[in-house]
Amino acid sequence: MKQQILVYILISFAFFSCLSPQNNEIEEEKKIGPITIVIHGGAGTILKKNMTLEKEQAYREKLAEALNLGYEVLENGGTSIEAVASSIRILEDSPLFNAGKGAVFTNQGKNELDASIMDGKTSKAGAVAGVTTVKNPIMAALAVMENSPHVMMSGGGAELFAVEQGIEIADSGYFFTKRRYNSLRRIQKKEEEQSAYLTENPDYKYGTVGAVALDSDGNIAAGTSTGGMTNKRYGRIGDSPIIGAGTFAENASCAISATGHGEFFIRNVVAYDIAALMKYKQLSLEDAAQEVINKKLVEQKGSGGIIGLDQAGNITMTFNTAGMYRGYIQQKDNAVIKIFGE
């Protein structure tokens, strides 16, 4: 009997010795992190000395609300796409950020909104550019992804699609906020004095919002929404609705949402460049983000930042500006929220 047990143990040992290296490899390939939501509310010259305690508190509370809702969606078995859209919607509905309700004004006193979303599992994506009547552009982007053969729609055509899809249309006057209107008047006054086309100072706080998430099935997703640049002209489109520039997600690499001086993010294909550095150069998410945001962009004086997440649950919140509204939840009841460069 003792001998039999010994033989059994020896055979088992031999058997598992053979198996285990292979198993480990498979384990490593499939290492999936816990459900996670990461959000940003824009990068820029966000300094403690310029912020009242009340204002800081208001930002922290709204970021917490967006994080909590996104995490709740994930806890209830929702997809990363659903979590991303839910969190962004909260930020779009707040006047604090330059997206949805709080969108800045164009040169013609209009609010032209852009948004995009991408599913890391399927590589499907949707985007809208230059919509003026859609209350939550991220919901229109989601509808483009899910219910159309296209990736990107713009202007009146995108608005028509949103109406057909039953997306909520904003009342006239919904996007009016005194703060943003005063910003427009201030810049236009300066413009008159200087006789030049001026947009919001590229180093000023932008307030674009975005989210990335990892769901309980191990799928990642990313989304971004913005009101663009104060006093912008000519139907300018920034990086936010551009897949590869402002938003990108694929399970094999990472999910990224960007905020910053959009022209630099388009020319440098920022979101996809981080993914490519991970796939083709085996850089970690953090190293890839540092390479693009704090080396390439800094050399070109392109200001801004990104949030990123991979399937293993690694998080990055990288920016080359003074601050970025940002936060994440990876452990229940443990929201991490930051604003300044700390």
User: What amino acid positions are annotated as catalytic residues?
Assistant: 208
Query: If residue 26 lies in a helix (H) or strand (E), which one and from where to where?
Result: helix 2-29
210 vs 262, beta carbon nearer a second copy:
262
In three-state form (DSSP H/G/I as H, E/B as E, the rest C), the secondary structure along 271-318 is: HHHHHHHHHHHCCCHHHHHHHHHHHHHHHCCCCEEEEEECCCCCEEEE
Q: How many CA atoms lie within 13 A of 79 on its CB side?
A: 12
Residue of 97, 175, 206, 272 interacting with a second copy (CB under 8 A): 272
**CB of 326 within 8 A of CB of 208?**
no
Distances from the Cα of 137 to the Cα of 58, 78, 144, 335, angstroms? 23, 20, 11, 26
Q: Which residue stretch of 25-33, 178-186, 251-259, 275-283 sits at the interface with a second copy (rule: CB under 8 A)? A: 275-283
- At closest approach, how far in Å is the CB of 171 from a second copy? 23
For a second copy, what does the binding mask look like between residues 287 and 306, x meaning CB under 8 A?
A: -------------x------
Enumerate residues 50-69 that contact a second copy by CB under 8 A.
none
Q: Pick one of 45, 154, 188, 294: the residue that binds a second copy (CB under 8 A).
A: 154
276 binds a second copy (CB under 8 A): yes
Q: Is 123 in the site for a second copy (CB under 8 A)?
A: yes
Least separation, in Å, of the C-beta of 42 and a second copy? Answer: 19
Stretch that binds a second copy, among 58-66, 142-150, 166-174, 325-333 (CB under 8 A): 142-150
Answer for the pair 97, 209: CB distance below 8 angstroms, yes or no: yes
Per-residue x/- marks for a second copy, 222-261, CB under 8 A? ----------xxxxxxx---xxxx--x-------------
- Helix, strand or coil, per DSSP, at residue 214: strand
109 is a contact residue toward a second copy (CB under 8 A): no
Q: Binding to a second copy by residue 160, rule CB under 8 A?
A: yes
Quote the least distance from Cβ 324 to a second copy, whole Å. Answer: 22
- Report CA-CA distances (Å) from 275 to 241, 256, 340: 18, 8, 26
Which of 325, 342, 330 has the alpha carbon at shortest distance from 39? 325
Angstrom distance (rounded) from CA 152 to CA 169: 19
Binding site for a second copy (CB under 8 A): 118, 123-125, 129-130, 148-158, 160-161, 197, 199, 232-238, 242-245, 248, 262-263, 266-269, 272-273, 276-277, 280-281, 300
